[in-house]
Amino acid sequence: MLRLVDVSHAYGDVVSLRRLSLELTAGEILCLLGPSGCGKTTLLRIIAGLERDYSGEIQLDGVDIRPVLAHERGFGLMFQDYALFPHLSARENIAYGLKRRGDNRRDIQRQVGDWLERVGLAGLGGRDVTALSGGQMQRVALARSLAPNPRLLMLDEPLGSLDAQLRDQLALELRTLLKAAGISAIYVTHDRREAYAIADRIAIMDAGSIQQCDSPRQLYHAPATGQVARFLGLRNLYSRADNAAIWKLAEQAGALRSDTQHILIHPRGISLGCPTAAPAIGYAATFLEAVFRGENWDICLRLEGDWQLTFSAREVPAQVGEPVRVFVALGCVLALAG
Amino acid sequence: MRLLLSRSGYALYLLPLLFLGIFFLYPLLTIFDISLRPGGALDLSAFGRLVSSNYYIETLLFTSYQAALSTGLTLLLATPCAYVFARYRFVGKSLLLSLATLPFVLPTVVVALAFAALIGKNGLLNDLLRALFSLDYAPIQLERSLGIILIAHVFYNFAIALRIMAGYWASVGFTTEEAARCLGASGWSLWRDIRLPLIRPALLSAGMLVFIFCFTSFGVVLILGGIRFATLEVQIYYQAVNIFNLPLAAALSIVQILSMLALMLVYTRQQRNLQLRLASSATIARSPRSAAEKVAVGCCVALISLLLLSPLVALLARAVLVEGRIDLSNFAALAEKSRASLLFIAPLEAIVNSLRFASLAMLAALLLGIIAASLINRHGGLARWWDALFMLPLATSAVTLGFGFIVALDEPPLNLRASWLIIPISHTLVALPFVIRCVLPAMRAIPPSLGEAAQLLGAKPHQKLLTIDAPLLGRSIAVGAIFAFTVSMGEFGASLFVAQRESVTMPVVIYRLLGDPGFASYRGALAMSVLLMLVCAGGFIFIERLRVAGLGEF
């Protein structure tokens, strides 16, 4: 549906996007996940038509949309700060795009009422938007961008300013709503939990380019580079400078390649007492510490050959300083390029 | 404001720039030319006279001296009041603050006359004392003295100092003071060691602004002091109009312009410092608890009421009371053209003139101000320079502007000296910075994302302008419009220079009526001053009602 080819952009001397290519299929929710300043928002603004100085191609259903002005693209963008019009009520905000489209008054009234109900704001339409709570503002902004039935909806960190609990709840609601409307969406965030919850596919961005684009599950289980693994919060990532014992383990697992830069021991392959999957290698280890994380404990061990492993467990297996036996499934020893 | 950014819209930006170039920079350059090359060749004799004559050096010294004294007095009274306003909550506080700001929009001639009506030789207070103690002389002898000038300056500038300091004080809070109290500080040591050092940036900033206003004070000094107390401004007027020594007037104007530039430079530096500090959190005022606190609040309320309201009440009383009874004959007499030789027109016609010119100046200042504000609001390194350029008329005294007009715009193709247009044009120039300062902050407060959101929802540039920008700027534009209108209504310095026979405005008529020894003229001046006061106060009430909290820089 949407296709970007070799898109590059710079703010003066600072390059924000480097020959970035990306595809989005109809009805798909794609998350752009990356640290602040990696070019996510710039990419959205280019797709929306708000940034004009870039090189590369952008096609919508095979048609080049570079000459099309922002107000003619029929795309929706939900801003990080919501950008609600402060002089208009919630209802008038939602109606804004419908009015510009030239819908008749009765239609607008009906659609706005519909949307208010769908986002759970029935009865609050007359409210001044400045008098709404953060969550309510987010819903008005969402309804406003969805009401004109955009061909593509872009969301720029739409839950960024909300507290963690509300963020989890709204992320789920958002996915349900987008899927029900069958809208293709690009969702920008720097929160991996939010990305996992909402996306069909996640594109990990760093320094203006896409490092990996896969389904959340695939991304988690097989990150392509050390940087992706780090960004996904995966621990037990080792570089060549680290202990030689780890590289020996990778060799035993048959994972090493010529371009290997990092070794990742995926947490799902680490277990105490007995192996989770065969083949596995057992190590004698010393229990270093356990950090309470609510549902789980973070367990840290020092292994023979003097290297460390960290993983989550439901129980604390031993006293600090006691010896334990740990198994690493060879299938979970990943060699990463880059 | 994207419409203004479109290619064809760039031409619009030329409008305010051309206006400023023709009606501000060109007259200013002409002043330089007259002063430095009076005969067509470089001739510094006018400057030579300035430097060699004690009289002019004394004029400059007196200008600075009276401004410093006025500033000191204003700060002395405003500082404790600012503390009370920041620290305590009391009934009528916001009304009092609004009232205290009223003088800011009052024309200088009105203020001068109000003080004459209160403490002049035949003022209300002298009448009262004479009646009370059966005296046959006026016990208060302040007319044509430095004292009355200083009092009028305090009246004018008190609210500016109060607002700047109270705002700053509320933002820095009182925790430092409370810590000092816990460590044993009290009374005078609390003021000397904690409070005054803490608000030093605001004190300096307010002091500098008041000094600038007093340094350029014209109407107050001219009417209340006369030529004996001539400041630079009065001297420029005197040399240009009474003696017609244009090179000397131009040399004095240059001294004035350079002094103002130096003062404004210092002021803007301080202002930057002040804004940095203002970003800190605000504290909430509390009710006064102890008896001493209640007395402090009471004194503050009494001082403001006495200082600010009594002259205005005196003016009103003098205008409408005749032998203790309400008599509106002073107002009725305004329609008569009895003093034709003095005024050339009936006073009523001057009112029509003022309204006409103020409306025109308002429209022009709005148009040019909005365009200029959107030019300044454009992102880019030049924005700061545009801002400084458009603020220049504010840093130039009205007398210098008026003088520049009569020496520069007196030959084709810009022979405007005999045209009434010169008045609204000069008023537009004076009002333009006010409009920009009202509209620009509101423009800056609109996040770019609002316009982008509208665009993505299908709004074409003109639709965005009408549905987003215009409603969001509406209030600020209205405030700017009223500001421009009241500034024009009260403008005196430039008008006195450029107004011709039939095109005189209310402040000029008041001044001319005052110059006439007849009692009828004095009463006419009183009546007209009351009318002018009511118009400006009305405008002020509108501004106060429309002003969006935190927006606008006045």
Distances (CA, A) of B254 to A246, B19, B30, B409: 81, 22, 11, 18
The average pLDDT across B290-317 equals 89
Residues of A in contact with B457 (CB under 8 A): 71, 76, 96-97, 100, 144-145, 148
Question: pLDDT tens-digit profile of A40-50?
Answer: 999 999 999 99
**Cβ distance of B460 and A71 shorter than 8 Å:** yes
Cα A31 from Cα A203, distance rounded (Å)? 6
Mean pLDDT for chain B overall: 83
Find the closest chain B residue to A78 by CA distance: B453
More confident residue, A56 or B240: A56
A50 and chain B: CB distance < 8 Å anywhere? Answer: yes
**What domains can be seen in chain B, in order of their start residue?**
1-30+347-554 (1.10.3720.10), 57-323 (1.10.3720.10)
Cα A76 from Cα A146, distance rounded (Å)? 7
Question: pLDDT tens-digit profile of A174-199?
Answer: 898 889 888 999 999 988 888 998 99
The average pLDDT across B87-100 equals 84
SS (H, E, C) B338-366: CCHHHHCCCHHHHHHHHHHHHHHHHHHHH
Q: What dihedral angle (degrees, nearest 10) is formed by the CA atoms of A38, A44, A49, A50? A: -60
Cα B336 from Cα B343, distance rounded (Å)? 11
Closest CA to A77 of B455, B466, B269, B478: B455
- Whether the Cβ atoms of residue B201 and residue B273 lie closer than 8 Å to each other: yes
| Amino acid B550: pLDDT | 41
Question: pLDDT tens-digit profile of A314-337?
Answer: 888 788 888 888 888 888 888 888
Cα B250 from Cα A86, distance rounded (Å)? 51
Q: Any bridge partners for residue B20, and if so which?
A: none
Q: Is the pLDDT confidence value at B553 over 50?
A: no
Percent of chain A with pLDDT over 90: 35
More confident residue, A276 or B289: B289
The model's pTM? 0.77
**Cβ distance of A83 and B455 shorter than 8 Å:** no
| Amino acid A95: pLDDT | 94
A149 and chain B: CB distance < 8 Å anywhere? Answer: no
Question: A279: cis peptide before it, omega within 30°?
Answer: yes
The average pLDDT across A71-93 equals 91
Give the pair of three-digit tokens for residue A335.
């060699």
| Amino acid B2: pLDDT | 45
Cα B315 from Cα B307, distance rounded (Å)? 13
Residues of B in contact with A50 (CB under 8 A): 452, 455-456
The average pLDDT across B66-81 equals 95
Question: pLDDT tens-digit profile of B439-452?
Answer: 888 888 888 899 99
Residues of B in contact with A83 (CB under 8 A): 447, 449-450, 452-453
Question: B461: cis peptide before it, omega within 30°?
Answer: no
- Whether the Cβ atoms of residue A145 and residue A100 lie closer than 8 Å to each other: no
**Cβ distance of B458 and A100 shorter than 8 Å:** yes
Planar angle of CA A246, A249, A250, nearest 5 degrees: 90
Residue A6: which region, alpha, beta or left (left: phi > 0; alpha: psi -120 to 50)?
left
Planar angle of CA B462, B464, B467, nearest 5 degrees: 105
User: Interface pTM (ipTM) of the complex?
Assistant: 0.80
Q: Indicate the range of A202-216, A236-250, A305-319, B51-65 predicted with least confidence.
A: A236-250
Task: Say which of B447, B456, B467 has its CB closest to residue A77.
Answer: B456
CB-based contacts of B103: which residues, under 8 Å, 6+ apart? Answer: B111, B155, B156, B158, B159, B308
Find the closest chain B residue to A84 by CA distance: B450
Confidence of residue A19 (pLDDT cuts 50, 70, 90): very high
Residues of A in contact with B465 (CB under 8 A): none
Find the closest chain B residue to A72 by CA distance: B458
The average pLDDT across A271-282 equals 78
Confidence of residue B338 (pLDDT cuts 50, 70, 90): low
Closest CA to A157 of A46, A33, A39: A33
Cα B307 from Cα B301, distance rounded (Å)? 10
Give the pair of three-digit tokens for residue B148.
């009355």
Angstroms from B535 CA to nearest CA on chain A: 31
Q: Is the pLDDT confidence value at B429 over 90?
A: yes
A145 and chain B: CB distance < 8 Å anywhere? Answer: yes
A76 and chain B: CB distance < 8 Å anywhere? Answer: yes
Task: Say which of A49, A85, A148 has its CB closest to residue B450.
Answer: A85
**Cβ distance of B452 and A79 shorter than 8 Å:** yes
Q: Is the pLDDT confidence value at A275 over 50?
A: yes
Q: Is the pLDDT confidence value at B549 over 50?
A: no
Q: Is the pLDDT confidence value at B93 over 80?
A: yes
- Give residues 79 to 118 of A whose Cβ lies within 8 Å of B: 79, 81, 83, 85-87, 96-97, 100-101
| Amino acid B372: pLDDT | 92
Q: Is the pLDDT confidence value at B12 over 60?
A: yes
| Amino acid B275: pLDDT | 57
**Cβ distance of A145 and B457 shorter than 8 Å:** yes
Task: Say which of A70, A85, A144 has its CB closest to residue B468.
Answer: A85
**Cβ distance of B472 and A86 shorter than 8 Å:** yes
Q: Is the pLDDT confidence value at A168 over 70?
A: yes
**Cβ distance of B452 and A77 shorter than 8 Å:** yes
Instruction: Tell me which range, A224-228, B137-141, B278-282, B344-348, is most confidently predicted by mean pLDDT.
Output: A224-228
**What domains can be seen in chain A, in order of their start residue?**
2-221 (3.40.50.300), 235-336 (2.40.50.140)
Q: Is the pLDDT confidence value at B213 over 70?
A: yes
Task: State the amino acid at position B387 in one-letter form.
Answer: D
Confidence of residue A271 (pLDDT cuts 50, 70, 90): confident
**Cβ distance of A70 and B456 shorter than 8 Å:** yes
Task: Say which of B453, B459, B472 has its CB closest to residue A83.
Answer: B453
Residue B303: CB atoms within 10 Å: 16
| Amino acid A190: pLDDT | 87
